[in-house]
Structure 1
């Protein structure tokens, strides 16, 4: 009976059909698994490749999955950098593989050939008769087959992707199609990462440039919100970045929004500029409106430059020009006056010798001679003061500077019925500096004191000039104090008097340079100038300089007080 059933199976082919069915089913399952693995590999590349992914890790993951369906032993990626093809990644890498950053030469390189012909190459090493650049390394690795594909993105070749195998395998057409698909996906991801890195590097360079600009830069949105600042802002205001962002722009710079160039820029949609004072520094503010594609004003870029030193330098240059003009004029005056003055002095001396002291003419001659000597001193002092020689620092006396200046302007002061009180410390230590420049400070301060009486009538006009020793900031110093009982100044004005070109005088009487230049000279000598003033009671200016051999004092300090 059993033999009969077997005979029927043989005659009908039932048994062979079952065997063929299971074989085909197994083959189909394997192909489906292969397809699924290929899709998984492509998905792996697409999903996990980004700017932070290490290419070596990526190749490792791809190779692990490839080994489940293909006999692949090593993967290579070479990229084109400035017309040079460079091996950037190999996995797995050892001492026998081509080292990373290898440059593939023109003419005899598999990688370079693929790049140039823009077509895949399947190379069996045993069949190779013509030597090529990579041959020695591949033989040492025991490679039998190299499959190379150009990495193409948007029609442009950006590199070469290669698969190495120690076996000679006959791949199917669909396998090569998968390798091509894998290469195309890698090319897209590599190019995207490269573009992203390029943008990222450009952004970093812009941010570094933005932060390193020495002038202050703000990005201001509507409602004065500060959205971005550079490092110069933090340094100027001496505040942490987060603290600055808690303020509006006008709160931070402490200016009225009604007179702010930022408000004007938002209203007019045009570039605005203004010079204002921020934390006792003169600053130039320029506001640049920024628009989107719809021509809507989105933000204003505020550029602030501290121009205090620049204005002081300009003031000193203008002042130096004036001194040069005075010097030329003084030289001409001295030349014209010296000859007749010599005759006056010589003849008066001859007459004095021949005239008896008892005669009334003798006193007249004596007055002529003394006035001639006074004129000679005035001309000499004027020449010394206005001389434009290079200033040389040397040991000099503050008292001598005061005496020289008084030769020039004592008469002007006393002519206005101003009482001049002089208290000079005869034991005053010397300083290291330029006598001519110290004289400039003294004459500026004395002229300011004299002009303090010109606005109103005063019954008792007094200018007190003192020199003395003092301790300033724990440093030994010498001081020149010039005080008056004139009009004095308001507190708001005191903050501005050292600014270049700031003046409360009429245009014909003041240029606003005297105090600015004086402060600059004091700083160059390591000193400073202090101010004490009260409206209606007078002012006191104190020049403070380190004594000879002493350390420099700190920056300018202005103050006011109600105590005189």
Structure 2
């Protein structure tokens, strides 16, 4: 019996180790079957799990008698055995044990007995958030009987198995998403390269392989410079190395040679990124075949040369010369006018002498109305003239080079980013006669690139906020708790008491800021129902997150809150997002304009509406009609995405309200109007705080933070509790095995091999009666691990940092609920 118990414990520990390993679904099921066979006798084993999102079944079947196994992933169960067993457990949602199957019994049991020789079976359901996600099935052909002890053995690891299966299926789902992304890249309508910092190909998509004529294996053994035509290979390598070493994106204009010797004129837009897996910088390159455009340029050059030649041919008759020139010009005009490439010709003084139809259609100016006018006055955005002054001067002087990026503005002030290929027409003395610009619109590419960069920067903000807040909660708890303990001391001087109260007030202020950060970092999808909030409080909480930045940057805040403002039903988190965005916008505009200013915040009631106004003394709104347009921003690149006001507009509209921005006499004013929605639930009656007598209560305190443990121990001892403190889970387990406790107060996150959740499961399994006597302490309320645990266990929680009266009250309420105390 001792050896059997030892074997069971060793098997359970081995299964727990399997849970922590990184196995595939099939390998995990195989290992699980092997371990369970040591302690449970069976001839047939299967494990079924189902994903809620896709409806797919993961099925692993092991026939011990035949020493074979099979894994399937499909939208329906394939075999009668698995269909029947899963159907049975889905009907009952409980453990099913059936021994000694009878030919006169259930239809399904008769089929198992006659078709497969099954004499007994046990089905153990697996749940996630109270929903059935799968089951473990063990069957016997040899007459073995299954008991509740067998189900208890599986029950000790069922939660870990469930989480492991869900994690593996989640990884499969993520892998499928990655494959979808790779498929998008692979089948993109453009050639896409991925290269390392030395220029060696890491990946080439399908279109690139077809254009270049190489296989994927051949490409990964080659460098970009192996494909570049000999006449400019060294120049391209130098440009590539400079771009990688400076970490700056760059555009390369090259001629590539395919495997069959075909020349491909291409523009390569290189984006430099750091790859944490390769531990090196890599280059993502979008390649555009411009052979057609180069051919067009070449033909234009040829025809321009022919025109010059015709003019010099004095031996030809004038009529023949004029006719040839007319035909050539007619051809050139048709060619240029009907291309989608933007074509602009200017003089060395920057005066416009030609634009093609593509320019007229896109930017709204016809050639007659702009002929002879400076290109700077017509097309260059006025706020960009100073920034582009040097580049334009180099362009007009003939020193700029082969390409230049200059934005053009349309008649209706719509700005497009254009990459221009530059060619110069010179006379026999090398004097510039005209400058020809051939343009490609790269606006959408730049917007997409900026959005991707901004998304990568913001992806970890929520995690960072919750992590920082959690790390602050423990030291805040120590400061707050010991300050309260010192206030309980006798013979404190008045000055010492005042100082302690200042410490407590400052700690509580930090606590509110941490709570606001945690609240703001919580992701919400829709407006929640049942939240009855005071708009004044929401605005104050939002302001508190920014008040220090405002003060140190000479921004004065004037507040005028209507005291009798009624409450309304709203999503507090989403409204905080709106108010923080409006405060940030006012702060940025005043700081950028004059380095100081006044922000006035008002709230008041107007009929059946609640109104909040945010007025600043900044420069005002430049383009009011574009305020809530996505991606529109007046901030510098990298300082704004242009999404803040658009998101705010959507949130207020979902609340049935309105947000308006306009210029005022002082600067800009944004007005948020919300409807007053009465609370539909019954009036909430807050419990009256009671004084609990904890004398004689036996309490186990499990906390690894020494300061928190000591302060709580001192307080509870003063209240008459008999307190045992455990700084590790190992000490806590030993204490529970050696003594009896009325209440257990445990930290959610404990260091060591066993987590807080595993310790909770151990306590409930070892001593089921203790389940209702456990109280949780935590400063991490955002992690998925915490939320999943709380949905399952419903344990009372004390959120760090806490005041002692709330701490005592939570213990008193729990003790009263289990019949240990009377108020």
- The TM-score, its normalising length taken from structure 2, stands at 0.30
Larger Rg: 1
- The TM-score, its normalising length taken from structure 1, stands at 0.41
Larger RCO, structures 1/2 (Cα 8 Å, 6+ apart): 1
